[in-house]
Structure 1
């Protein structure tokens, strides 16, 4: 699933004297304030929480790191299948929302996205607050709705009741929003016997949501931001959604939250993905353009809803990796808030691995850990990790801190390079984006980076 970003949860670490986790045992009173978000002339501003932070309003259940990496790998395979326009094995052959309503075949799960950073949105009349994950790889937003005809997972707070909202309206099967579901979810819509549009959103880790398409008032604090916000009212929601109420999609599709708010606020959003001991942000609308260095969004016929970029180089200790320029261009590259571990083209990854091994030669090697094969025994000190930069077309550069390069596994008995190879699709994952300001300026077709967005 991709900010509150893939329902495959990440394992983001904070650097103290080493690369070991240092989570807080409790939140300050300031952190505990319900920072719903606000709307002003600069746009909408949400507070983002890491799901494993003690300040998160919807902490995710504990998963082993190997399970996290397994789900991450499933997401990458799903993205690769999506770009090949092929299908994966379906998670379930069919689902029935109601015996008299509709039987819905689930397709493969080739639509991706759901994530692990959480924020709050206000929905309905009267307004009620819901904890949601946010994903740049998903288009359709949805949340769990009563009566939960099949299944609702445990969530923070009450499940949304559309019957209790004076402004809720169902979307008919003939509405353009219903016809737009195929491009938004990569799954066909269906129709109930009451002529209500039925959506199905499936994800690379076999999680899914199925329900009715609706419209309601989206609110930010005391301000109504969008009177006719289109979203899914989930009746069967199963998988790794933690205790969130649902998902917000920010991909480039007309049903995404970005597109629905774009006419009023502008087609851009920015975020900073926090560590477990801090808070980050998501902003939709205007931003300070002088703050960022930019790389063009790359157009791709493979999928016009995802965000493609062009990686042109990687340096270690100030030296370019010894690979040909063509090693970067043969594989499509996506920036994705939902993938945890960055995937590089095989030749680029091998060169990066060799450079890290040479720089950390005083550390003993450890066996591979799941998809991570460049590992060392014990905890690698931050001061020993060489500077790694990722350079993009146009000169935009991610100057990675040690916590963006290495990751601890097995209770810090092993430290691994937080990259993996992939010949199918290259992905700039959220591990490498952590603590950077990242802006997606869809109107100007560019993505920008700036250091120091959140600690």
Structure 2
């Protein structure tokens, strides 16, 4: 082989290998410092669902249509939760369950026979596609597990050995309660067992040995059923005893390769509320993009001076969710041509697991028209699922107007192109908003790279630009 081609080949190999090595080095540093506890609280590394550094990544070839489909299921469930106060029938048990891995259909009786005399299951919202993941330590000695992070859920749960009915595939070993010196099952008469109805919107059940059984169910028939338990939860060298969580024995659905879910909602059983008496009633996060960069989740004190705030809106529709009030939007500095009252026509949730922001229909129509007018020179592309304002190209390659979202109290999200448009494939990008006639939701595409603080103690939510990349 000639010397010159050999040198070129070596150069090409080095060029390819260097970015891979850089990514590997960045990922190693994220893993090594994934969690710690200091005087300001608990700090966890947060990963985008499709980040190359994610400890349980989703497939890179996952079509965006799948993301949208599951996003719709989540939104529908959130809307049904708000409507459930007016329609008790929305909580009736379903009469069918998904297939077992062998293709054999099971019913409620098979679950009940394994755990209790009666464990009804109800549908809810998928948590496997749009959510971010982190690691949590559990047990004594502590082992870390990859967990989905969700501000719209309360109960934290993970898959537990022996998985007496079913476990989905996860990254790393399944938690074994017998290997933890601090594990304990929770009895049926405990106050925590009584709290499950409000935490999961499903009734608890009781095993033959008087152990409390939880059932957490989600939108497309994804669910986890198991024993309410307590153990020591740890973050680096810091730990908290008597943490209540679900030890899942039947876990099926779209949870990716995570071990389970961390709940951050306003409920006594959420991770946040259990740690808050020690750390403070506030948590913050920065949701990273799908690059190798990481974001963070912190529970405890924060720097209040860096944020602009909007009050948490009061709502008796669902006390566990986080509501805020959208008060205005502008495109390229010009306010949308809608009445101010249109922004508050629907209850508005801020949610870490919804991908596409849902706006009241009239607000969305005005936004779509204004963005399309500002991008008049960009070739249009066909509608993509629920996204009807699409362009040829990518968000990074187009001239995208500045879009501002303003909330009650004056807090403003000044959206970069990556927060305005979402690339649905290699040649098409769409406005990352959709209309709704039910519940308005501020999704995670608009929150990416912002530091967002949930200050429950002062009933406010704050935003700061440049929290992560």
Structure 1 portions without partners, runs of 5+: 1-23
Please report how far the alpha carbon of residue 103 of structure 1 lies from its aligned counterpart in structure 2 after TM superposition: 4.7
CA distances 1:192-231 after superposition (whole Å, capped 9, x unpaired):
101010000011232111100000001111222x100000
Give a deviation string over 1:331-362, Cα, whole Å, max 9, x none: 00000001000000000000000001111111
- Structure 2 CA distance for partners of 1:100 and 1:286, relative to 1, 3 Å: closer
Cα gap change, 1:379/1:219 in structure 2, threshold over 3 Å: closer, same or farther?
A: closer
Give the equivalent residue in structure 2 for 1:437. 451
* Residues 55, 146 of structure 2: 8 Å contact kept: yes
Alignment match, 1:286:
301
CA distance in 2, matches of 1:231, 1:262: 16
Question: What is the aligned partner in structure 1 of residue 38 from structure 2?
Answer: 40
Q: How does 1:192-231 map to 2 (within 5 A)?
A: 192-224=207-239, 226-231=240-245
Answer 1 or 2: higher relative contact order, Cα 8 Å, separation at least 6. 1
DSSP-derived class of the 1:264 partner? helix
Question: Secondary structure of 1:218's match?
Answer: strand
In the alignment, the residues of structure 2 paired with residue 100 and residue 107 of structure 1 have an alpha-carbon distance, to the nearest angstrom, of: 14
C-alpha distance in 2 between matches for 1:250 and 1:216: 18
The residue number in structure 2 matching 1:358 is: 373
Q: Is the Cα contact below 8 Å between 2:126 and 2:254 reproduced in 1?
A: no
Task: For 1:54-133, list aligned pairs within 5 A.
Answer: 54-61=52-59, 62-85=61-84, 86=87, 87=90, 90=94, 92=97, 94=108, 96-97=110-111, 99=113, 101-110=115-124, 116-133=131-148
Q: Which residue of 2 aligns with 1:17?
A: none
Choose which of 245, 256, 276 in structure 1 pairs with 2:290.
Answer: 276
1:372 corresponds to 2:387: yes
Give the number of aligned pairs: 430
CA RMSD for the aligned pairs?
Answer: 1.7
1:31 is the counterpart of 2:30 = no
Q: Does the 8 A contact of 2:56 with 2:257 survive in 1? A: yes
Aligned mates of 2:145, 2:114 — CA distance in 1: 30
**C-alpha spacing 1:159/1:247, structure 2 compared with 1 (3 Å):** same
1:164 to 173, 179, 191: 179
Check whether the contact 2:164–2:250 (CA below 8 A) recurs between aligned residues: yes
Does 1:400 pair with 2:415?
yes
**Contact 1:312 / 1:391 at 8 angstroms: preserved in 2?**
yes
Name the structure 2 match of 1:184: 199
Task: Quote the offset at 1:363 in angstroms.
Answer: 1.9
Length-normalised TM-score, structure 1: 0.91
Q: Which structure 2 segments of 5+ residues have no match?
A: 1-18, 98-106
Contact 1:49 1:118 (C-alpha < 8 Å) held by counterparts = yes
Distance in structure 2 (CA, Å) of the matches to 1:340 and 1:83: 19
Q: Please report how far the alpha carbon of residue 241 of structure 1 lies from its aligned counterpart in structure 2 after TM superposition.
A: 0.9
The structure whose Rg is larger is 2
TM-score (norm 2): 0.88
Point out the structure with the larger helix share. Answer: 2
